[in-house]
Chain A
Amino acid sequence: MHGVIDPATAGTLAPSEEPRGPLLQVRDLTVEFATRNGLVKAVKNVNLTVAKGETLGIVGESGSGKSVTSYTVMRILDRAGRIAEGSIAFSGIDIAHAGEKQMRDLRGREMSMIFQNPRAALNPIRKVGHQIGDVLLHHLQADPRNVKEKVIEILNQVRIARPEERYHAYPFELSGGMCQRIVIALALACRPQLMIADEPTTGLDVTTQKAVMDLVTELTRARGMSTLLITHDLGLAAAYCDTVMVMEKGEVVETAPAEQIFRNPQHPYTRKLMRATPRPGISLRDLLPEEAQTRGRVQASPRPNPPPQAGEGGPVAPVEAVATPDADVAASNPLPLAGEGREGAAAPAAGLSSVAKGSPAPAAEKTLQPLLKVENLVKEYPRQGAPIAFLAGLFGKKPAKEDGIFRAVDGISFEVGKGESVGLVGESGCGKSTTSTIVMRLIDATSGRITFDGEDLSAIPAKSFAHHPMRKRIQMVFQDPTESLNPRYTAARAIADPLLRMGGMSEGPALRAKVEDLAGMVGLPVDLLDRFPHQLSGGQKARVGIARAIALNPDLVILDEPTAALDVSVQAVVLNLLEDLKHKIGMSYLFVSHDLHVVQLLCDRVIVMRQGRVVEEGTAEQVLAAPKDAYTRELIAAIPHPPV
């Protein structure tokens, strides 16, 4: 097996080969962690078998125990964790009772691991060539005289261009994808029999993800290695694994060949996961679990009745669902609804329905009044490169150093209509976040105009915008719900912040009532309001962030990958919540994301960006079904799909 393997066929090829003996066999594994509240079982009675040359995918959401299982196999658990029961056999060695010395010998030589964050997995102050050399020397695969040669050979294998040069590079000089290749090179250096890949591509762009995964598949198959792929992405597991094991709360709920599990999932949890995974040709409501739809009530959504038949019969437009409950809610809704907002709410609903039916209605967005108009926006930074440079440039006025000017945003123009959702899509470094930050008025543009509701925003410097009356009309939901909440503020305090600063409210029962109201709107239980962020789950923190953003009835909300840090099932609920709120309050969304499928679900229009420029713009339907630009096609092709 040489050359590039098509991921779609890779899975089907494997089972037809010779029967293989198990390389790794885990029996009844239970792992316990000692915590402040007593023993917690992170993994319960897990059985798994990995044959020689097989790729097993472990799929589950956060807290499912998938990482703990793999760490246990490598015996790199925290000190608090221990194997309570069960056995692990790795090519005849009893891992559960092996000595530390024996394990050290195995790790790296017989089994190795690829970590989630390649940058964190590499020593930042050591040349990558030396880091790979260390592994080779440690396991006596090379001696000091020929180590450089061997390292360059390995770098060549992981397709790093100009390996002689890159041998001397430090991790920070390489891109994320490049770093992950180095980590793969480290993992494969000693030709181990088993490779554990723990979310190897989570932090990477889709096109990089495809390149990295193709590389891993090719290399491991060429060497007859077994792989344990740990991921939360069903599509990825489907595309690259022979067998898929689904875990929930420390237990295995289903194990089956990849194709079978997607064609015919047995366990309700597997079905729920599959439903929640965004894919082409579905509507937002399809993401929610079946029960929630048939029961007519979504636990998290304040909307009383989602479309009744949207469950199985394909996407039925949620027009009625939008129109009717909205009217009910408006009566009881304490938020003053602006007339224009109500108008706006109807328009995208029409757009949504047309998208769902498969007939694009380009006329829909033309009738919208523009709310935000961006013209020829340019943002230049004095130094080349890394996103850190953006941040550093924010406050310190650093003098232009060497290589001149870097244009993060290169003359882009677009409009967002009232009540419209526009997606801004592109890979990391394409300038989408810079654009949204400028629109947000947190940084100043180098040139260009931003008109918001007829007023020229670019004339107001970012520094004094905090006190500008426009401030409360543009709000934002941040990418990382954990990082965007002050760890020392309770949820209630975080939601109250905009009300105190700009809503003219002061501490007291009225404020509390308003906060509880907002919590109700975003489906956050009131008794959680007094908790600190670290006591809330990811989805709950996302709700706090959303409640804070909508507290002042903004006209435009910028969603900066609001679900990127969330599990798929939570993502499904949060996306639906955002859609509901949009109609309820009559907001416009500017949705910044790298995931076209997610964007398509929530947005009427999509703008694809690359290297600071707009490469394609159109309705979500058009862009996904018939991309005009080669780059857009590449993006779409790189998204792994379950074989449905």
Chain B
Amino acid sequence: MTIASPSAARPSPLLATLKHARYVISDNPVTGLAFGMALVLVVCALLGPYIVPHDPYASNTAMALKPPSATYWFGTDQLGRDIFSRVIVATRLDLGIAVCSVALVFAAGGIAGIASGFFGGWTDRIIGRISDTIMAFPLFVLAMGIVAALGNTVTNIVIATAIINFPLYVRVARSEAQVRRQAGFVQAARLTGNSEWRILLTQILPNIMPIMMVQMSLTMGYAILNAAGLSFIGLGVRPPTAEWGIMVAEGATYIISGEWWIALFPGLSLMFAVFCFNLLGDGLRDIVDPQRRT
């Protein structure tokens, strides 16, 4: 019959979420690995300047272009600065740009996409054409143009990165919202007197969070690459700021003469970060999705 189950004390929601997160992480080793990598990145971003062995900005021409050693783990660059310290310190800037731009594009693109799928009609047409226009440009070139036009600042990199990812969010959110706009629970919410905007925010949005989580995690990787790419070609962040893209750009000129470490280690950390966020998506989705919590 239908009624069963003894009355068990329900744990608090926070505790349940933590327990569930632990389950998801231990269930899938890849997810566990991704979370471990993300933890490393977050620690570096938060504590970077306090844990590095050398001052990342102190130049020491006597020690310039030294290969990796026990003192300088990743070697030193043309000004004798410790590359290891610079790579760690750069985490905060690169991650910061990525997090801000993803948050911005999630808020703008996510809501626009849901509204587009949910309301249809003119809303859909206008938002759809805007994102089509953005997609019509080569995205990296568009980002270059935006930063060049708006000015060479970190804020503008964030904005440019958000704009080029906007269509991706709109597309995903729109199709997800479209599937659900006639779902029974949405109809039921109409019957209980919810306005359309309230339905959009309280019924539709939470239900497309799992897929948005995956999207956010993936674009996080793109955002890091994009920011580094802009710096690499000389837009955005400027030397001597420690930033992975600039460091790769600076090291690139020395590869021919055999000083491979200057470009390699910032490049590897870029790879590490992008790889981490790409893996993280699936794990995040499982944590956010209540259906997995059985």
| Chain A residues with a Cβ under 8 A of chain B | 36, 299-300, 391, 394-397, 440, 442, 463, 466-467, 471-472, 474-476, 478-480, 483-489, 497-498, 501-502, 523-528, 530, 532, 534-535, 537-540, 543, 545, 548-549, 569-570, 573
Contact = CB atoms under 8 A, between A and B. Distances in A.
Nearest to A541: B2
B293 A502 contact: no
Interface in B185-201: 185, 187-196
Interface string B249-285: 0000000000000000000000000000000000000
Contacts of A397: 121
Contact of A476 (B4, B5, B191, B193): B191
B42 interface: no
B138 interface: no
A397 B3 CA distance: 45
A478 B181 CA distance: 15
B8 interface: yes
A467 B193 contact: yes
B3 A396 contact: no
A223 to B, nearest CB: 41
Given A395-B120, A396-B121, A525-B7, A442 B2 contact: no
B184 A466 contact: no
B10 A530 contact: yes
Contacts of A570: 1-2
Nearest to A528: B5
22 contacts: A397-B121, A442-B190, A463-B196, A466-B193, A474-B191, A476-B187, A484-B183, A484-B185, A484-B187, A485-B185, A487-B291, A488-B207, A489-B185, A497-B189, A524-B3, A527-B7, A527-B8, A532-B291, A534-B291, A548-B188, A569-B1, A573-B2
B188 A395 contact: no
Contacts of A476: 187-188, 191
B119 interface: yes
Given A467-B195, A476-B188, 19 more contacts: A300-B1, A396-B121, A466-B193, A471-B191, A472-B193, A476-B187, A485-B188, A487-B185, A487-B207, A487-B290, A502-B192, A524-B3, A527-B7, A527-B8, A534-B290, A535-B294, A537-B2, A545-B188, A549-B191
B184 A483 contact: yes
Given A532-B290, A532-B293, A534-B294, A488 B206 contact: yes
B182 interface: yes
Contact of B184 (A395, A480, A528): A480
Nearest to B117: A395
Given A442-B187, A466-B194, A573 B119 contact: no
A474 B193 CA distance: 11
Contact of A483 (B3, B6, B183, B291): B183
A486 B185 contact: yes
B152 interface: no
B78 interface: no
Nearest to B188: A484
Contacts of B6: 527
Contacts of B203: 486
A527 B1 contact: no
Contact of A573 (B1, B182, B187, B207): B1
B187 A488 contact: no
A525 B3 CA distance: 7
A352 to B, nearest CB: 25
A543 B2 contact: yes
Contacts of A530: 10
Interface of B: 1-8, 10, 119-121, 124, 181-185, 187-196, 203, 206-207, 290-291, 293-294
Shortest 6 CB-CB contacts between residues of A and residues of B: A539-B2, A484-B184, A498-B192, A527-B7, A501-B193, A483-B184
A299 B5 contact: no
Of residues A467, A479, A488, which shows the largest number of chain B Cβ atoms within 10 Å of its Cβ? A488
B1 A479 contact: no
Nearest to B2: A539
A475 B191 contact: yes
B193 A498 contact: yes
B294 A525 contact: no
Given A395-B121, A472-B193, A532-B290, A539 B184 contact: no
A548 B185 contact: no
A397 B194 CA distance: 22
B193 to A, nearest CB: 4
A397 B291 CA distance: 35
B1 A299 contact: yes
Of residues B2, B3, B5, B8, which shows the largest number of chain A Cβ atoms within 10 Å of its Cβ? B2
Contacts of A300: 1-3
Contacts of B191: 440, 442, 471, 474-476, 498, 549
A603 B121 CA distance: 41
Contacts of A543: 2
Contacts of A525: 3, 5, 7
A570 B195 CA distance: 34
Contacts of A534: 290-291, 294
A486 B193 contact: no
Nearest to B4: A537
Nearest to B182: A391
A488 B206 CA distance: 7
B2 A395 contact: no
A476 B6 CA distance: 30
Given A532-B290, A570-B1, A394 B182 contact: yes
Nearest to A471: B193
A537 B1 CA distance: 9
Of residues A484, A532, A534, which shows the largest number of chain B Cβ atoms within 10 Å of its Cβ? A484
Contacts of B193: 466-467, 471-472, 498, 501-502
B207 A486 contact: yes
B184 A501 contact: no
Contacts of B184: 478-480, 483-485
A394 B118 CA distance: 11
Given A525-B7, A532-B290, A483 B185 contact: yes
Of residues A395, A397, A472, A532, which shows the largest number of chain B Cβ atoms within 10 Å of its Cβ? A395
Contact of A488 (B4, B7, B290): B290
Contacts of B2: 300, 537-540, 543, 570, 573
Contact of B5 (A391, A467, A480, A527): A527
A484 B203 CA distance: 11
Nearest to A396: B120
A85 to B, nearest CB: 27
Contacts of A545: 188
Of residues B124, B184, B187, which shows the largest number of chain A Cβ atoms within 10 Å of its Cβ? B184
Of residues B1, B184, B188, B191, which shows the largest number of chain A Cβ atoms within 10 Å of its Cβ? B191
Nearest to A493: B202
Nearest to A539: B2
A497 B194 contact: yes
Contact of B190 (A466, A480, A527): A466
A35 to B, nearest CB: 9
Contacts of A549: 191
Contacts of B124: 396
